[in-house]
Amino acid sequence: MKKIIISKLFLYKHRFVIGYILLGLAFVGLLFLVPLIAQKNLSSAEMESAVSSYNLEPDAVFNGDLVNLPYRLLQKVSIMAFGLTPFAIKLPNILIGILLGFLLILILNRWFKNNVSLLASILMILSTLFLSLIGTGTPLIMLVFWPTLLLWLGSKIQGEKRPEPIFCFAFALSLLFSIFTPYMVYFAILCVVFAISQPHLRFVIKRLPKIPLVIIGLFVLAGIALVVLSIIKAPSVALELLFAKNFSTSEFLHNVSTGFTPIFSWNNGPEGAFLSPLISLPTFALVLIGLFSTTKGFFASRNSIATLLLIFTVVITGFNPSSIVFIIIPLAILVAHGLKYVLEKWYGLFPENPYARISALIPLSILFAVMILPNLLQNMYGYRFNPSVAHYYTNNLSIIRDKLTDETIIAEPDSLEYKFYKILEDSTEIKVSSEITTSKALAFLKKPEKKPEGYKLSRIITSEKSDNSDIIYLYTVVEGE
């Protein structure tokens, strides 16, 4: 009988390729499935984002309307293509999230061995923090996307003796578009400071072709000039790009505390739009192990990057607590470091014993099940049943689209609801008004102080997501009047 050599088996030889393919398929499926099941409702932040995106003008670049411009343009196209629906509002995040997930996998695969990068990728892209981010239809995801893209493009430049010019151009374009996202100006400065302070990166930059370097410089200068012109026309742009709309220096420490609390709340999470904990306790243990292991080689690129990104996370969280989502990037690196350290220590105990290596699959499988399954279940049910989070989201839009046809919605002038539902006029027969107009049916978003003349209350539409259950008071014309 011919002896079977495990190393020559097809499944063994291609185990990492197969693993990445299965991970990619599961990841794409989850990104489309989870937001539609778990986060199919909308928050006020998502409504504001939809209004801002839909009202984006063609000359926005010249009028100073630059904040989150790339994302808003994508969301505007999505709403125009599919109408005002929860899916259309969240679709940009799903698409960007797919690309972001693959970029994280590529970065980890470039810095770590296949087994470590595969396991770390699974943990991060199936974490509560990541799934929550891609299921929320706001530009917040760009705060993670741009740095991840820049890090990957930077690794493609750094890791080659003679980098391809295409990666230099892509890096320049990404850096240009990224500065339209709040706080990315700081990240661009951080990239420059890090490149100057890192000896290896200085050596790589010196060896880059001069023409790509000049083009990169021109792109960056063009972006800075555009931002400066926008600030001159609209000074509020500077506050929004550098800090936050309502930022106050006295609230810096409070914002840091508010932002980091959902990470450490493993029992009862605080009230907010994010589920708690953002990462599971076993994953957090791996992060601590990874942070400890990086102290032995701080000046290695990936180690110093992780530490500097953690510091950067603290700073921008002080400006806006929602910016805590940026921590995905350093956490991914530290989780990979932690896994690398644990696997090396385990295999170091039994360097020549194949049975010990195989037996490690059992506790690893249990550990991964403990870290991943609770995250998925938390996302599936937390947004609907967690009282500290659920009331931030409503299903009013879905109910209005299902229950109303050609009625006129009455909302307070200049309110968010008025601006948001006004978008429906372009894709449905529903009208929106701030005053009572002639119509066969009027739909009030809250109980009117007095009954409109010539109308009678015909129906009260309710929702389980509303504190008082009633969300729409429907009045129809009284016959004969």
pLDDT (0 to 100) of residue 79: 92
Cα gap 258→222, rounded to integer Å: 36
Give per-10-residue mean pLDDT for the chain (481 aa).
53 64 70 64 88 86 80 93 89 88 86 80 83 86 92 77 73 84 84 72 70 73 76 76 74 85 67 72 84 65 75 88 88 87 75 66 75 78 75 83 84 87 86 81 82 83 73 78 52
Q: Cα–Cα distances in Å, from 438 out to 52, 59, 174, 424, 452?
A: 29, 36, 51, 19, 11
Q: Give the C-alpha separation, 273 to 46, whole Å.
A: 11
Beta-bridge partner residues of 459: 474
Distances (CA, A) of 75 to 40, 70, 227, 427: 16, 9, 22, 16
Q: Which of 341, 325, 323 is nearest to 285 (CA)?
A: 341
> How far is 24 from 22, CA to CA, in rounded Å?
5
- Would you state the pLDDT for residue 15? 62
Which pLDDT does position 133 carry in this prediction? Answer: 85
Residue 406 per-residue DSSP state: S
For position 74, what pLDDT does the model report?
A: 93
Q: How many Å separate Cα 455 from the centre of its chain?
A: 46
pTM, two decimals, is 0.85
Residue 268 sits at the vertex; the CA angle it makes with 266 and 272, to the nearest 5 degrees, is 105
Give the model confidence (pLDDT) of 366-410 as tens digits: 777 777 787 777 777 777 777 777 778 888 888 888 888 888 888
CA separation for the pair 157, 74 (Å, rounded): 28
- Report the pLDDT value the prediction gives residue 149, as an integer from 0 to 100: 92
- Alpha-carbon gap, residue 438 to 299, rounded angstroms: 71
List CB contacts of 163: < 8 A, sequence separation 6 or more: 156, 157, 204, 208
* Mean predicted lDDT score pLDDT of the chain: 79
Please provide the DSSP assignment of 173-199 as one string.
HHHHHHTTSTTHHHHHHHHHHHHHH-H
Q: In whole angstroms, what is the distance from residue 325 CA to residue 259 CA?
A: 9
* Chain CA centroid to CA 261, Å: 18
Greatest distance between any 2 Cα atoms in the chain: 96
